[in-house]
Amino acid sequence: MPSNWNIAIVGAGALGGHVGAYLTKAGERVTLIDPWPEHVEKMRRDGLTLRGQSAPENFTVPVKAIHITELQSTIRDEPFDLAFVAMKSYDTVWATEMIRPYLSPEGFVASLQNSINEERIASVVGWGRTVGVIAATIAVELMEPGLVRRNVALGGDNRLIFRVGEPHGRITPRVETIARMLAVCDSSKATDNLWGERWSKLAVNAMRNPVSAATGRGGNANDRDPVTRRLAIRLAAEAIKVGNAHGYRIEKVYGIAPEALVAAIDGDAAAMAGCEKILLDNTLFRNDDQRPSMGQDIQKGRRTEIDFINGLVAEKAAEAGIEVPANRGIITAVRKIERGEAAPSPELVYDI
């Protein structure tokens, strides 16, 4: 049963488009708002096409899509009850400012992004109108205007994909509604541990995204290489140590118990072997084309979110007096590529 909410998705790229297509198909009232003109026009003309690993994931659905410049015309229409912000982290504040005047009196904003952006959203609309949505191990890519491809299998009963939570930690009707809504896309739940879930996802992003960006390779290729596989484990374990120091209740990271990751980099050979096995096993539910979003950004010549992912780990590490050499090393490598001082290459990370 649809929620009957009027829903905006600010940023109809890979994840926003993926979610928007499923919600529209399920009968929700969704408006997709995006800054890429060709993408908007293609969606208007031909609908939004999704491609995935199984037959039910492959469909085209007519959607309501508008240009950012057309948002002002919606002031005459029903205001939005919920706005998902699905932009890059560095676009969070202006995107939230843009949608704020078009929210209903009880309307609120949900971050559907990498990193931890709830504080940025709350700086615009207030904490009472801010919700977090974590999407884990979903691996979607906007291939061309009007086409989003998912490169990993559905989570279903095997892997939880969406978590929806309130900053204050209580389970409320609105997060339960969003969790039910997102269940049409894949497995979903309401959580009482938004910050722990957020930090756990940050650790996943920290171990997956910059390694792809720096090496120029997809996730499977990096996991099959013992050097980059162990680098990923170090990146995640450093993030966990920082999260622990700040008091987060950290959940599993990419299917790995956080204490196992920490033990692995603290010299426990059995823990390291166990972590490596899980990373190798995880290559079985992805295709070899899968590339984390930061790797996609480098490939397409776009600004990355390195400052909001590994940069956030480094920032919070400094606050806690913790050294994070792997995260600082990968930040340096990705920034070199962004500045045009180096090309993506596995050799760029071998000495980190």
Query: By C-alpha distance, which of 305, 303, 281, 283 is closest to 89?
Result: 305
Tell me which amino acid residue 177 is: T
Which residue range(s) make up the domain with 342? 197-348
Query: By C-alpha distance, which of 80, 127, 112 is closest to 99?
Result: 80
Give the per-residue pLDDT at 332.
98
CATH number, domain with residue 146: 3.40.50.720
For residue range 163-177, list pLDDT tens digits in order: 999 999 999 999 999
Give the per-residue pLDDT at 288.
85
Residues in the chain, total: 352
Strand partners, 165: 132, 191
Do residues 235 and 331 share a domain?
Answer: yes
Do residues 120 and 83 share a domain?
Answer: yes
Do residues 233 and 327 share a domain?
Answer: yes
**Would residue 344 count as lying in a domain?**
yes
For residue range 217-230, list pLDDT tens digits in order: 999 999 999 999 99
Q: What is the pLDDT along the chain (352 residues), one digit of tens a residue?
A: 789 999 999 999 999 999 999 999 999 999 999 999 999 999 999 999 999 999 999 999 999 999 999 999 999 999 999 999 999 999 999 999 999 999 999 999 999 999 999 999 999 999 999 999 999 989 899 999 999 999 988 998 889 999 999 999 999 999 999 999 999 999 999 999 999 999 999 999 999 999 999 999 999 999 999 999 999 999 999 999 999 999 999 999 999 999 999 999 999 999 999 999 999 999 988 888 888 999 999 999 999 999 999 999 999 999 999 999 999 999 999 999 999 999 999 999 999 9
Give the per-residue pLDDT at 289.
82
Do residues 156 and 209 share a domain?
Answer: no
* Cα–Cα distance list, 227 to 129, 134, 150, 224, 334 (Å): 44, 29, 27, 9, 17
**Tokens representing 30?**
């969704």
* Category of 286 on φ-ψ map: left (φ > 0), alpha (ψ -120 to 50) or beta: beta
Tell me 26's DSSP state: T
Domains held by the chain: number: 2
Tell me which amino acid residue 121 is: I
Do residues 120 and 70 share a domain?
Answer: yes
Do residues 335 and 277 share a domain?
Answer: yes
Contact 67, 31 (CB under 8 A): no
CATH number, domain with residue 305: 1.10.1040.10
**Tokens representing 314?**
């480094």
**Would residue 296 count as lying in a domain?**
yes
Give the per-residue pLDDT at 124.
98
Do residues 64 and 102 share a domain?
Answer: yes
Do residues 174 and 259 share a domain?
Answer: no
From first CA to last CA, the distance across the chain in angstroms is 51
3-state class (DSSP) for residue 203: helix
Do residues 16 and 155 share a domain?
Answer: yes
**Would residue 184 count as lying in a domain?**
yes
* Cα–Cα distance list, 131 to 86, 95, 172, 283, 335 (Å): 13, 15, 10, 32, 31
Return the CA Rg of the chain. 19
Give the per-residue pLDDT at 68.
97
Do residues 241 and 128 share a domain?
Answer: no
